Structure 1
Amino acid sequence: MYPATGEGGIRGLPPTAIAVLALQALKLLLAWQLPLFGDEAFYWLESRHPAPAYDDVPGLTPWLIALSTALLGDAAMAIRLPGLLMSWATLWLLYRVAVREAGPETGWRVLLLASLPPMMGLSGVMMLPDVGINLAVLLCLYGAGLALRGDRFGPLWLAGGLLLGTLAHYRFVLPLAAAALAVLALPGLRGLLHGRVLASACLGLALGLAPVLWQMLAGDGQTLRFQFAERHAFDFQPHLLADPLLQAVVVSPLLYALLLWAGWRSRRATPTVAVFGAWGIALLVLIWLIGPWADSQRSRLHWPAPAYLALALPLGLAWTSLGARLRAWTLGLGALVCTLGAVYLTVVSFAASSLAGSRLYPDNFVGAGELAAALAPRLEQLPPGAPLAVDHFLLAAQLEQRYAAEGSPRPVFVLDHPHNFKHGRQRELSRMGRDARALDAVGASDGLVVIEPAALTLRDRPAWLWTFCLRHPHARWSDELWSDRGDQRLALFRLQAGTPGRCEPPVVGYIDLVEGARVRPGQTIGGWAIAGGSGVSGLRLRVSGAAPSVPEWPMSLPSLAGILGETGDPSMPDVGWQLRLPDSLPHGRFWLQLEARTDSRDWHPVIATPVERSD
């Protein structure tokens, strides 16, 4: 242990060390309690089907999960343990670099600054490829700094980082491009272009790229097309120019500005600090430049996280040159942002239903446990060998992982859903024998299908549900699971070949109010409701659990058909409704719930939205 140096401490540890260690304890608790994220579950599913690489990620994440679960079982904590260990290895290496530069007190300070951005402070709670990217980046920067000092082991550290990074994610191309920019922009880094360093770098890249290239060749380049072409718009999106501002909010404005300042200031520092600073700035600039043309369908908040990790080193070294008030505000705001992230994951772990009706609802975390419990008695009624299928890959992986963790493994098949193609998982599902073709090959006369309507955007939902019925005309609605005010809505269908009748998809409804909208007594609101097959036979709106009100319905919406496409509803375009809200609206926040019935189903909830009364 290192003694405190004038800042106080507990048992010889400075307050910065206590804060960092407390955060690691919190990460361990969250990793233990947090439900599996959908992508984590899919990486687990891939780990059960070994391959040199996969369409969505290279091999590192599934390989490590396979190793951990082979030793510890299929529980969520076993899946996440490799990520936690890599996150701690990253912090340990960063600490060693900082200690070598300025001593142990600075080492703890650098770790604290690196942990304040939530995407870094909570890194390792989930087993995602970003954890491997962070460790790989630090290995590369550490090796580059040693190489510039003439250390003969520097090129080996660099090669190891490049090997790890290329196995972690296809997005590692961004750190590589940032490294090239940093070397070109800063003459002091040209020493990295010497033969021994370049040879080691090429060796690391070659070893890491070998399984990736094998995967690409085996798939006729599909992986390459998806990762670097199909998932990116390549059309200028002006609103994405605001990404740096969003990053500043997520990191906290003062810390974001100081990280940039420290990176710029580090160009005249020691070789190691200069490498960290130049590369961190280069990665941020690169992301700013390509951002308006890159993938905007998925979150990119985590892309710059390795830059904050690198820039924490020069900021930690320059920390004492800042004013006391500036330091206090920076730490305070940064701690607040990190705390908010931790609080959110804590709420997801213990009270996810409290977020129902908000944009913060964690739909990618919840639902699998409740679904598995609800399916248990229904699966017992099926004949032996009857298949279970769901509509998209995330739900399938979460469900199959839960069965495996409970000691009753069973395959979960996946329909041809737009999500599977959008996220580059369709070919992997086919390779694993989990796609719709594999379901058809089972040839069972009975089975169960689970559909999550909200997995698609409202615009795409009715058409896909109708397509499902066209492809599976013998599917019969069985039941619907409705929880968390409809944020979890799952429709259950029985697949019974040769049965009479026709498949009817779930009703899709819309209330023309944004979440959290303010409404007033007597206000007229509207929306629509669609049901493929027989159409909707009745509508009503329930205000905060009170007796339902009958809206004016049906109303013609001629433009809706052009927006939604073929929905199978015979009443189109006469599917609109409107209702004058009662004069006795509840005060504060309450819920509006649209309910419907069809020829084959009695009254049931379709959609709910939270609103507030305004007077």
Structure 2
Amino acid sequence: MGEQRGLPRFAALPVGIVVAVQAAVLTALSGRYGFHRDELYFVASGRRPDWGYVDNPPLTPWLARASTAVFGETPAGLRVIATLLGMATVVVVALLAREFGGGRGVQLFSAIATALSSYVLVVSHMLATNSADLLLWSLITLFGLKLLRAGDGRWWLAAGAAAGVGLANKWLVLLLLSGLGIGVAAAGPRRVFRTWWLAGGIGLAVVLAAPVVAWQAAHDWPMLTVAGGISADDGGENRALFVPMQLVLLSPVLVPVWVAGLVRPWRDPRLRWARALTIAYPVVCLELLVVGGKPYYSIPLLLPLVALGAEPVLRWLGRGGLTRRALTGAAAAVCVVVSVLIGLPVVPPPALNGVLLAMNKEPGEQVGWPEFAGSVAAAWQRIPATERDTAVIVAGNYGEAGAIERYGPELGLPRPYSPHMSYADWGPPPDRLVGPVLLVGGFERGSPAARLITGCRPVAKHFTAGGVDNDENGVVLSLCTLTKPWSVAWRRLRQFY
């Protein structure tokens, strides 16, 4: 497509150096701590490939299966794909900076800022649905901006393809599409809507997303049930924290950069075509505030704004004296250190307790899973040998079930079951298993589950290695009795969140 004329050359060498260093650091640290609870769930989901799961579309579990099949079912093997997604995101943000007319220095700044930002470090170190979402949002934005700048309708096909893949990962991409659509309708250039290529892009997205949507429809839209539960349980807290989190999740030192990006197209007539992006971000934020979505859902839109604001910020620094540059450099250094401490496994696990876990709980959820499986194995041995053939392990959440499934066989444990999320679809236990129930965790008093699994007698309590204060620290393991056949009880035990 010929609209590349007039753009600066892509700074392949300096951006490539940034990406190489990023890959080296992430790879060196990828085996530290262990699997995150979500990663254990994705590995388990990948073993059961399908067009959908209760709480997410299939792309991330498919990526987990591919990465572990090639590189091994270890934290380091799984995280190869997260590293690759993070590297690709850095390249795309540099390309976005180029799209706004940024030269070598601006592209390099954008790449470094992206690679070192807290949110990008977190989702590039461990595999999450956000890992792919960050790249896909950046790609959709890049293709959309190319369309707006050059008016070449063929970019609708690229944007449609990226949107279709995005819908196979997280449906939050609909927020991005609505924000950009409203931005173009409000600020133009609206001529991009007057082309048959738009229909082609929509059609391509629909074709790619159709199997995923069909699966959700056939299973009574469980993702909407999960989203509704998140909003009901956490909506108030999410709304209260939304604005402060926008200022810190990427990096406080980058706030002036993306604010400059919000302002720049309204001051520079040459970038009038990019105004839709500056409208999209507040639109997406407003939508998330209305539905009570998590604050980090909107963070991928800040990266294009960083690329947009990089040039005026670098000019401002260039006009300042030594004091201005020194203070800015010191602030940037502090923020980078904080980003690394909260985003990467660089401290011993016991040192996580306190401030670091308060700022980001995810590293704590990567500690102690083999030991957790060991605690379950010790509790399993409390069941008389004559009763183990008919006994069942029921885990309270998908992380616990994933850990037992991953580490349990080498400890002599049978397959675990869990009523949580998609694990509920992978049950129930056979009705012939009428023996004791080893319950990991517990149920709320008076709940249907508490009436179906009764007589619980605590036999062990798990404490996380190093005393790390995560969700499994202090969990109780009990031996219980099932009051109904599993085929009857299972649907009443199901948990969507």
Q: TM-score range by the shorter chain?
A: 0.7 to 0.9
Question: What whole-Å deviation, never above 9, does each CA across 1:484-537 have from its counterpart, x for those lacking one?
Answer: 287611322234689xxxxxxxxxxxxxxxxxxxxxxxxxxxxxxxxxxxxxxx
Number of the residue aligned with 2:401: 396
> Which one has more relative contact order, counting CA pairs under 8 Å at least 6 apart?
2
Number of the residue aligned with 1:25: 24
Question: What whole-Å deviation, never above 9, does each CA across 1:196-227 have from its counterpart, x for those lacking one?
Answer: 43123202320233023212220233433443
* Cα distance, 1:328 vs structure 2: 5.2
For 1:305-324, list aligned pairs within 5 A: 305-323=299-317, 324=320
Number of the residue aligned with 1:157: 158
Number of the residue aligned with 1:480: 461
> Residue 303 of structure 1 aligns to which amino acid in structure 2?
Y
Indicate if the aligned counterparts of 2:56 and 2:169 stay in contact, CA closer than 8 A: yes
Indicate if the aligned counterparts of 1:396 and 1:412 stay in contact, CA closer than 8 A: yes
> Residue 395 of structure 1 aligns to which amino acid in structure 2?
E
* Cα distance, 1:175 vs structure 2: 0.6
Number of the residue aligned with 1:540: none
Q: Structure 1 residues 301 and 243 mapped into 2: Cα distance closer, same or farther (>3 Å)?
A: closer
Q: Any gaps of 5 or more consecutive residues in structure 2?
A: 1-11, 484-497
Q: 2 CA distance for matches of 1:233 and 1:388?
A: 30
Q: 2 CA distance for matches of 1:400 and 1:221?
A: 27
Question: What whole-Å deviation, never above 9, does each CA across 1:11-49 have from its counterpart, x for those lacking one?
Answer: x976x8766654443322333224222222222222222
* Secondary structure of residue in 2 paired with 1:124: helix
Number of the residue aligned with 1:516: none
Number of the residue aligned with 2:429: 439
Q: 1 CA distance for matches of 2:233 and 2:482?
A: 45
Q: 1:463 aligns with which of 420, 423, 445?
A: 445
Number of the residue aligned with 1:375: 376
* Cα distance, 1:378 vs structure 2: 4.8
Q: 2 CA distance for matches of 1:128 and 1:486?
A: 21
* Cα distance, 1:473 vs structure 2: 3.2
Question: What whole-Å deviation, never above 9, does each CA across 1:85-131 have from its counterpart, x for those lacking one?
Answer: 12212222333444564443332111123334311244321211112
* Cα distance, 1:179 vs structure 2: 0.8
* Secondary structure of residue in 1 paired with 2:367: coil
Indicate if the aligned counterparts of 1:83 and 1:127 stay in contact, CA closer than 8 A: yes
> Residue 463 of structure 1 aligns to which amino acid in structure 2?
R
Number of the residue aligned with 1:290: 287
Q: 2 CA distance for matches of 1:179 and 1:414?
A: 40
* Secondary structure of residue in 1 paired with 2:348: helix
Q: 1 CA distance for matches of 2:47 and 2:108?
A: 39
Q: Structure 1 or 2: larger strand share?
A: 1
Q: 1 CA distance for matches of 2:232 and 2:391?
A: 41
For 1:357-368, list aligned pairs within 5 A: 360=358, 363-368=364-369
> Residue 177 of structure 1 aligns to which amino acid in structure 2?
S
Q: Any gaps of 5 or more consecutive residues in structure 1?
A: 1-11, 454-460, 499-615
Is 2:398 the partner of 1:413?
no
Q: 1:489 aligns with which of 457, 463, 474?
A: 474
**Which has more radius of gyration?**
1
Q: 1 CA distance for matches of 2:379 and 2:187?
A: 65
Q: Structure 1 residues 283 and 27 mapped into 2: Cα distance closer, same or farther (>3 Å)?
A: farther
Question: What whole-Å deviation, never above 9, does each CA across 1:118-152 have from its counterpart, x for those lacking one?
Answer: 11244321211112222222222222233342557
> Residue 342 of structure 2 aligns to which amino acid in structure 1?
Y
Percent sequence identity over aligned pairs:
19
Indicate if the aligned counterparts of 1:116 and 1:337 stay in contact, CA closer than 8 A: no
* Secondary structure of residue in 1 paired with 2:146: helix
For 1:101-180, list aligned pairs within 5 A: 101-147=101-147, 148-151=149-152, 154-180=155-181
For 1:66-81, list aligned pairs within 5 A: 66-81=65-80
Number of aligned positions between the proteins:
454
Question: What whole-Å deviation, never above 9, does each CA across 1:267-303 have from its counterpart, x for those lacking one?
Answer: 56698x6666642x3343124423443336xxx2422
Number of the residue aligned with 1:599: none
Indicate if the aligned counterparts of 2:68 and 2:78 stay in contact, CA closer than 8 A: yes
Q: Structure 1 residues 337 and 481 mapped into 2: Cα distance closer, same or farther (>3 Å)?
A: same
For 1:478-557, list aligned pairs within 5 A: 478-483=459-464, 484=467, 488-495=473-480
Indicate if the aligned counterparts of 2:417 and 2:429 stay in contact, CA closer than 8 A: yes
> Residue 172 of structure 1 aligns to which amino acid in structure 2?
V
Indicate if the aligned counterparts of 2:156 and 2:200 stay in contact, CA closer than 8 A: yes
Moved more, 86-95 or 147-156: 147-156
